[in-house]
Protein backbone atom coordinates (compact mmCIF):
# COMPACT_ATOMS: atom_id res chain seq x y z
CA UNK A 1 0.00 0.00 0.00
CA UNK A 2 1.32 3.45 -0.80
CA UNK A 3 0.02 6.94 -1.25
CA UNK A 4 -1.86 9.18 1.11
CA UNK A 5 -2.48 8.27 4.73
CA UNK A 6 -5.50 10.55 4.90
CA UNK A 7 -8.30 9.00 6.91
CA UNK A 8 -6.33 5.83 7.66
CA UNK A 9 -5.95 4.12 11.02
CA UNK A 10 -2.44 3.66 12.37
CA UNK A 11 -2.75 0.38 14.22
CA UNK A 12 0.27 -1.78 13.48
CA UNK A 13 3.60 -1.08 11.82
CA UNK A 14 3.00 -4.21 9.75
CA UNK A 15 0.29 -2.31 7.86
CA UNK A 16 2.96 -0.08 6.27
CA UNK A 17 5.39 -0.53 3.43
CA UNK A 18 8.99 0.63 3.55
CA UNK A 19 8.14 3.48 1.17
CA UNK A 20 5.33 4.68 3.37
CA UNK A 21 7.50 4.58 6.48
CA UNK A 22 10.27 6.48 4.71
CA UNK A 23 7.76 9.08 3.68
CA UNK A 24 6.45 9.47 7.23
CA UNK A 25 10.01 9.88 8.51
CA UNK A 26 10.70 12.52 5.88
CA UNK A 27 7.61 14.48 6.86
CA UNK A 28 8.69 14.13 10.51
CA UNK A 29 12.09 15.59 9.67
CA UNK A 30 10.37 18.69 8.31
CA UNK A 31 8.42 19.02 11.58
CA UNK A 32 11.48 19.30 13.81
CA UNK A 33 11.72 23.13 13.88
CA UNK A 34 8.03 23.38 14.79
CA UNK A 35 8.37 20.63 17.38
CA UNK A 36 11.20 22.60 18.97
CA UNK A 37 9.15 25.78 18.97
CA UNK A 38 11.59 27.52 16.61
CA UNK A 39 8.91 27.90 13.97
CA UNK A 40 5.16 28.29 14.24
CA UNK A 41 2.51 26.30 12.41
CA UNK A 42 -1.25 26.39 12.19
CA UNK A 43 -1.53 23.40 9.92
CA UNK A 44 -4.13 21.73 12.16
CA UNK A 45 -5.85 24.86 13.41
CA UNK A 46 -9.40 24.16 14.50
CA UNK A 47 -8.80 20.42 14.54
CA UNK A 48 -9.56 18.34 17.62
CA UNK A 49 -7.65 15.32 18.89
CA UNK A 50 -9.62 12.89 21.07
CA UNK A 51 -6.99 11.44 23.40
CA UNK A 52 -8.15 8.36 25.29
CA UNK A 53 -5.68 6.92 27.76
CA UNK A 54 -7.10 3.94 29.60
CA UNK A 55 -3.66 3.42 31.07
CA UNK A 56 -1.18 5.97 32.29
CA UNK A 57 1.61 6.79 29.86
CA UNK A 58 3.12 10.17 30.52
CA UNK A 59 5.56 10.26 27.64
CA UNK A 60 3.27 9.08 24.86
CA UNK A 61 0.29 11.13 25.97
CA UNK A 62 2.24 14.35 26.44
CA UNK A 63 4.04 14.03 23.15
CA UNK A 64 0.78 13.56 21.25
CA UNK A 65 -0.65 16.57 23.04
CA UNK A 66 2.48 18.60 22.31
CA UNK A 67 2.36 17.51 18.67
CA UNK A 68 -1.28 18.58 18.28
CA UNK A 69 -0.73 21.86 20.10
CA UNK A 70 2.39 22.76 18.09
CA UNK A 71 0.33 22.38 14.92
CA UNK A 72 -2.40 24.69 16.21
CA UNK A 73 -4.91 21.97 17.13
CA UNK A 74 -6.60 21.16 20.44
CA UNK A 75 -6.81 18.01 22.53
CA UNK A 76 -9.65 16.64 24.63
CA UNK A 77 -9.96 13.36 26.45
CA UNK A 78 -8.83 11.64 29.63
CA UNK A 79 -5.58 10.31 31.01
CA UNK A 80 -7.15 7.66 33.21
CA UNK A 81 -10.59 6.14 32.95
CA UNK A 82 -11.42 6.88 36.60
CA UNK A 83 -14.39 9.24 36.91
CA UNK A 84 -15.30 8.98 33.23
CA UNK A 85 -18.18 6.97 31.78
CA UNK A 86 -15.66 4.21 31.20
CA UNK A 87 -15.47 3.62 34.94
CA UNK A 88 -19.23 3.02 34.88
CA UNK A 89 -18.69 0.08 32.56
CA UNK A 90 -19.24 1.64 29.16
CA UNK A 91 -17.85 -0.49 26.35
CA UNK A 92 -14.88 0.76 24.38
CA UNK A 93 -17.05 0.66 21.28
CA UNK A 94 -19.55 3.12 22.80
CA UNK A 95 -16.87 5.45 24.11
CA UNK A 96 -15.26 5.47 20.68
CA UNK A 97 -18.58 6.27 18.97
CA UNK A 98 -19.00 9.24 21.29
CA UNK A 99 -15.46 10.60 20.91
CA UNK A 100 -15.69 10.02 17.17
CA UNK A 101 -18.46 12.59 17.11
CA UNK A 102 -16.46 15.13 19.17
CA UNK A 103 -13.11 14.99 17.42
CA UNK A 104 -11.26 14.73 14.12
CA UNK A 105 -8.71 12.10 15.07
CA UNK A 106 -8.52 9.64 17.97
CA UNK A 107 -5.45 8.48 19.87
CA UNK A 108 -5.98 5.40 22.01
CA UNK A 109 -3.91 3.72 24.71
CA UNK A 110 -5.67 0.67 26.12
CA UNK A 111 -4.66 -2.34 28.22
CA UNK A 112 -6.33 -4.90 25.93
CA UNK A 113 -4.61 -6.22 22.83
CA UNK A 114 -6.49 -5.44 19.66
CA UNK A 115 -8.28 -2.45 21.22
CA UNK A 116 -7.06 -0.05 18.53
CA UNK A 117 -8.19 -2.31 15.70
CA UNK A 118 -11.60 -2.52 17.36
CA UNK A 119 -11.73 1.25 17.82
CA UNK A 120 -10.92 1.64 14.14
CA UNK A 121 -13.99 -0.43 13.27
CA UNK A 122 -16.30 1.80 15.27
CA UNK A 123 -14.77 5.18 14.45
CA UNK A 124 -15.13 7.00 11.17
CA UNK A 125 -12.28 9.31 12.07
CA UNK A 126 -8.74 7.93 11.93
CA UNK A 127 -7.53 6.05 15.02
CA UNK A 128 -3.89 6.06 16.06
CA UNK A 129 -2.78 3.24 18.31
CA UNK A 130 -0.75 4.57 21.22
CA UNK A 131 -0.17 1.08 22.62
CA UNK A 132 -2.62 -1.74 23.19
CA UNK A 133 -1.48 -3.79 26.16
CA UNK A 134 1.21 -6.23 25.18
CA UNK A 135 0.27 -5.53 21.58
CA UNK A 136 1.37 -2.98 19.03
CA UNK A 137 2.80 0.48 19.57
CA UNK A 138 3.51 1.71 16.05
CA UNK A 139 4.37 5.32 16.91
CA UNK A 140 7.14 4.05 19.19
CA UNK A 141 8.57 2.00 16.33
CA UNK A 142 8.39 5.01 14.02
CA UNK A 143 10.17 7.29 16.45
CA UNK A 144 12.84 4.64 17.02
CA UNK A 145 13.38 4.38 13.26
CA UNK A 146 13.40 8.16 12.98
CA UNK A 147 16.08 8.40 15.67
CA UNK A 148 18.37 5.90 13.95
CA UNK A 149 17.78 7.54 10.57
CA UNK A 150 18.59 10.97 11.95
CA UNK A 151 21.58 9.99 14.07
CA UNK A 152 23.11 7.59 11.57
CA UNK A 153 22.03 9.17 8.30
CA UNK A 154 20.13 6.01 7.37
CA UNK A 155 19.08 2.61 8.65
CA UNK A 156 20.33 0.13 6.06
CA UNK A 157 23.65 -1.50 6.86
CA UNK A 158 23.76 -0.35 10.46
CA UNK A 159 24.41 -3.01 13.06
CA UNK A 160 21.69 -2.72 15.68
CA UNK A 161 22.14 -4.70 18.89
CA UNK A 162 18.92 -5.11 20.85
CA UNK A 163 19.30 -6.15 24.45
CA UNK A 164 16.84 -6.97 27.23
CA UNK A 165 13.54 -8.80 27.37
CA UNK A 166 13.14 -9.82 23.76
CA UNK A 167 10.56 -12.49 24.45
CA UNK A 168 7.69 -10.51 25.91
CA UNK A 169 8.55 -7.01 24.72
CA UNK A 170 6.24 -6.69 21.74
CA UNK A 171 7.51 -3.25 20.78
CA UNK A 172 10.90 -4.90 20.30
CA UNK A 173 9.24 -7.39 17.96
CA UNK A 174 7.77 -4.69 15.73
CA UNK A 175 10.98 -2.67 15.85
CA UNK A 176 13.17 -5.58 14.82
CA UNK A 177 10.82 -6.55 12.00
CA UNK A 178 10.87 -2.97 10.74
CA UNK A 179 14.67 -2.81 11.03
CA UNK A 180 14.89 -6.07 9.10
CA UNK A 181 12.69 -4.59 6.40
CA UNK A 182 15.10 -1.63 6.20
CA UNK A 183 18.11 -3.91 5.87
CA UNK A 184 19.75 -3.30 9.24
CA UNK A 185 22.05 -6.01 10.59
CA UNK A 186 20.50 -7.32 13.82
CA UNK A 187 21.89 -8.95 16.93
CA UNK A 188 19.61 -10.05 19.74
CA UNK A 189 21.19 -10.19 23.18
CA UNK A 190 19.20 -11.77 26.00
CA UNK A 191 19.33 -14.67 28.44
CA UNK A 192 18.05 -17.79 26.63
CA UNK A 193 14.73 -17.68 28.52
CA UNK A 194 14.02 -14.15 27.24
CA UNK A 195 15.30 -14.50 23.67
CA UNK A 196 13.45 -13.34 20.58
CA UNK A 197 10.60 -15.78 19.72
CA UNK A 198 11.30 -18.03 16.74
CA UNK A 199 8.37 -16.73 14.70
CA UNK A 200 9.88 -13.23 14.69
CA UNK A 201 13.36 -14.48 13.83
CA UNK A 202 11.81 -16.45 10.97
CA UNK A 203 9.87 -13.42 9.80
CA UNK A 204 13.09 -11.39 9.70
CA UNK A 205 14.91 -14.20 7.89
CA UNK A 206 12.13 -14.24 5.30
CA UNK A 207 13.23 -10.71 4.41
CA UNK A 208 16.70 -12.03 3.61
CA UNK A 209 18.38 -11.00 6.87
CA UNK A 210 20.40 -13.21 9.22
CA UNK A 211 19.98 -12.00 12.79
CA UNK A 212 22.62 -13.11 15.29
CA UNK A 213 21.46 -14.54 18.62
CA UNK A 214 23.73 -14.06 21.62
CA UNK A 215 23.58 -14.02 25.38
CA UNK A 216 26.67 -11.91 25.88
CA UNK A 217 26.79 -8.18 25.37
CA UNK A 218 30.59 -8.13 25.73
CA UNK A 219 30.97 -10.28 22.63
CA UNK A 220 29.07 -7.90 20.35
CA UNK A 221 29.39 -4.38 21.75
CA UNK A 222 32.53 -3.60 19.73
CA UNK A 223 30.74 -4.04 16.42
CA UNK A 224 27.54 -2.23 17.30
CA UNK A 225 26.41 0.99 15.63
CA UNK A 226 23.24 1.19 17.69
CA UNK A 227 22.61 -0.35 21.11
CA UNK A 228 18.88 -0.55 21.83
CA UNK A 229 18.25 -1.30 25.49
CA UNK A 230 14.93 -2.46 26.92
CA UNK A 231 13.70 -3.22 30.36
CA UNK A 232 13.87 -6.69 31.86
CA UNK A 233 10.79 -6.99 34.03
CA UNK A 234 11.04 -8.47 37.49
CA UNK A 235 7.65 -10.15 37.10
CA UNK A 236 9.10 -12.47 34.46
CA UNK A 237 11.24 -14.21 37.05
CA UNK A 238 9.75 -16.54 39.65
CA UNK A 239 13.03 -16.31 41.56
CA UNK A 240 14.15 -12.78 42.59
CA UNK A 241 17.79 -13.89 42.82
CA UNK A 242 17.66 -15.05 39.20
CA UNK A 243 16.26 -11.64 38.21
CA UNK A 244 19.09 -9.83 39.98
CA UNK A 245 21.64 -11.96 38.20
CA UNK A 246 20.14 -11.45 34.74
CA UNK A 247 19.43 -7.74 35.18
CA UNK A 248 22.99 -7.24 36.42
CA UNK A 249 24.49 -9.03 33.43
CA UNK A 250 22.85 -6.60 30.99
CA UNK A 251 23.29 -3.30 32.77
CA UNK A 252 24.87 -0.66 30.55
CA UNK A 253 27.58 1.33 32.30
CA UNK A 254 30.73 3.11 31.19
CA UNK A 255 32.84 0.00 31.86
CA UNK A 256 30.97 -2.08 29.32
CA UNK A 257 31.25 0.75 26.79
CA UNK A 258 35.06 0.76 26.93
CA UNK A 259 35.38 -1.18 23.69
CA UNK A 260 32.46 0.47 21.94
CA UNK A 261 32.86 2.36 18.67
CA UNK A 262 33.14 6.14 18.99
CA UNK A 263 29.92 6.71 17.15
CA UNK A 264 27.87 4.04 18.91
CA UNK A 265 24.50 5.43 19.94
CA UNK A 266 22.48 4.07 22.85
CA UNK A 267 18.69 4.12 22.75
CA UNK A 268 16.00 3.19 25.28
CA UNK A 269 12.21 3.62 25.01
CA UNK A 270 12.12 4.95 28.61
CA UNK A 271 11.25 4.94 31.41
CA UNK A 272 14.39 3.12 32.44
CA UNK A 273 14.82 1.54 35.84
CA UNK A 274 18.42 0.51 36.12
CA UNK A 275 19.21 -0.92 32.70
CA UNK A 276 21.39 2.11 31.95
CA UNK A 277 23.38 3.60 34.78
CA UNK A 278 23.33 7.38 35.00
CA UNK A 279 27.06 7.72 34.25
CA UNK A 280 26.18 6.83 30.65
CA UNK A 281 23.97 9.92 30.34
CA UNK A 282 27.04 12.17 30.04
CA UNK A 283 28.74 10.08 27.36
CA UNK A 284 28.71 10.86 23.65
CA UNK A 285 26.73 7.64 23.15
CA UNK A 286 23.51 8.52 24.98
CA UNK A 287 20.59 9.33 22.69
CA UNK A 288 17.55 8.26 24.73
CA UNK A 289 16.50 11.79 25.60
CA UNK A 290 16.71 12.88 21.95
CA UNK A 291 14.77 9.72 21.13
CA UNK A 292 12.00 10.75 23.55
CA UNK A 293 11.89 14.22 21.95
CA UNK A 294 11.63 12.63 18.50
CA UNK A 295 8.24 11.33 19.52
CA UNK A 296 6.90 14.84 18.95
CA UNK A 297 7.88 15.43 15.27
CA UNK A 298 6.96 11.84 14.38
CA UNK A 299 3.50 12.21 15.93
CA UNK A 300 3.12 15.63 14.30
CA UNK A 301 3.80 13.98 10.95
CA UNK A 302 1.24 11.24 11.59
CA UNK A 303 -1.45 13.61 12.83
CA UNK A 304 -1.02 15.91 9.83
CA UNK A 305 -0.97 13.04 7.39
CA UNK A 306 -4.06 11.20 8.65
CA UNK A 307 -5.91 14.51 8.88
CA UNK A 308 -4.92 15.37 5.33
CA UNK A 309 -2.98 18.50 6.34
CA UNK A 310 0.02 17.08 4.51
CA UNK A 311 0.13 14.46 1.76
Binding residues (CB under 8 A) for another protein: these are 12, 91-93, 110-115, 117-118, 121, 132-136
Comparison of 12 and 215: residue with beta carbon closer to another protein: 12
Comparison of 117 and 152: residue with beta carbon closer to another protein: 117
- Minimum distance from residue 65 beta carbon to another protein (Å): 24
Comparison of 13 and 226: residue with beta carbon closer to another protein: 13
Comparison of 119 and 155: residue with beta carbon closer to another protein: 119
Comparison of 7 and 111: residue with beta carbon closer to another protein: 111
- Minimum distance from residue 12 beta carbon to another protein (Å): 7
Report helix, strand or coil for 267. Answer: strand
Comparison of 113 and 242: residue with beta carbon closer to another protein: 113
CA distance 128 to 63: 13
Phi-psi region of 271 (alpha: psi -120 to 50; beta: other; left: phi over 0): beta
- Minimum distance from residue 127 beta carbon to another protein (Å): 13
CA distance 290 to 149: 13
- Minimum distance from residue 157 beta carbon to another protein (Å): 29
CA distance 202 to 204: 5
CA distance 189 to 110: 29
- Minimum distance from residue 136 beta carbon to another protein (Å): 7
Residues 6+ apart with CB under 8 A from 157: 183, 184, 185
CA distances from 146 to 21, 23, 112, 301 (A): 9, 11, 27, 11
CB 292 within 8 A of CB 59: yes
Identify the H or E element spanning 124.
Answer: none
The residues that bridge with 185 in the sheet, in sequence order, are 159
CA distance 16 to 140: 14
- Minimum distance from residue 14 beta carbon to another protein (Å): 8
Comparison of 121 and 210: residue with beta carbon closer to another protein: 121
- Minimum distance from residue 91 beta carbon to another protein (Å): 5
- Altogether, the residues listed in the chain come to a count of 311
Amino acid sequence: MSGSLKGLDIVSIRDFSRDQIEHILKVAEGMVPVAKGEEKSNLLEGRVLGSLFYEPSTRTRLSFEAAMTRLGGRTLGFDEPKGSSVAKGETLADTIRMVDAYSDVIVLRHPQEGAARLAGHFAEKPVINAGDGAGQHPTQTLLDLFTIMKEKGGIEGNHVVIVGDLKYGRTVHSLSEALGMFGAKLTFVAPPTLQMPKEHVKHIESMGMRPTISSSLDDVIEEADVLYVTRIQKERFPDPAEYQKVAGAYTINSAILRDAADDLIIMHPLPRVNEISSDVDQTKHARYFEQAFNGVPVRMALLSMVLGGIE
